[in-house]
Amino acid sequence: MKVVLRNPRRELDVEGPMTVAKLLGQLEIHRDAVLVIRGDTLVAADAVLEDSDTVEIRPVISGGAG
């Protein structure tokens, strides 16, 4: 599958199928720090991502204090 990372934007190829939780674990990304988006909607931690999928792992932490 194609995995799109942000800040800075870049792409990885990862062999599927695997769950969202396993993908985040493999990349050592904490699930509470990101959203995983397939198409135009969110996918939950137990969702299975297929080899043909494109998913975005979007960080949610922002730095401004206001």
Partner 1 sequence: MKCTVCRGPAVIDLRRHNSNFCAEHMVRFCRDQVAKAIDDHEMIAPGEKVLVAVSGGKDSLALWDILVALGYEVEGMTIGLGIGEYSAHSTAVSVAFAEARGWPLHQVDLRGEYGYDVPTAAQVTRRVPCSACGLSKRHLFDKVALDGGFDVVATGHNLDDEAAVLLGNTLHWQTEYLGRQLPVLPATDGFPRKVKPLVRLGERETAAYCVLRGIDYVVEECPMAEGNRHLRYKEALNAIEAASPGTKHDFYFGFLARAADRFRPEAEEAKTALVACEGCGAPTPTSPCAFCRLVERAAGHEPVPVELVRKPRGRRGGRKGGPKAAPKPAGTTAPATAAEARP
Site size toward partner 1 (CB under 8 A) is 40
CB of 50 to partner 1, least distance (A): 14
Are 11 and 1 a contacting pair, CB within 8 Å?
Answer: no
Kindly identify the residues of this chain, within the stretch 1-40, that bind partner 1 according to CB under 8 A: 2-3, 5-8, 10-15, 26-30, 32-35, 37, 40
Are 20 and 30 a contacting pair, CB within 8 Å?
Answer: no
Q: Phi, psi (5° rounding) for residue 26? A: -65, -35
23 SS3 class: helix
Write the interaction track for partner 1 spanning residues 33-52; mark x where CB under 8 A is met and - where it is not. Answer: xxx-x--xxxxxxxx-----
Are 1 and 55 a contacting pair, CB within 8 Å?
Answer: yes
**For binding to partner 1 (CB under 8 A), which residues are involved?**
2-3, 5-8, 10-15, 26-30, 32-35, 37, 40-47, 57-66
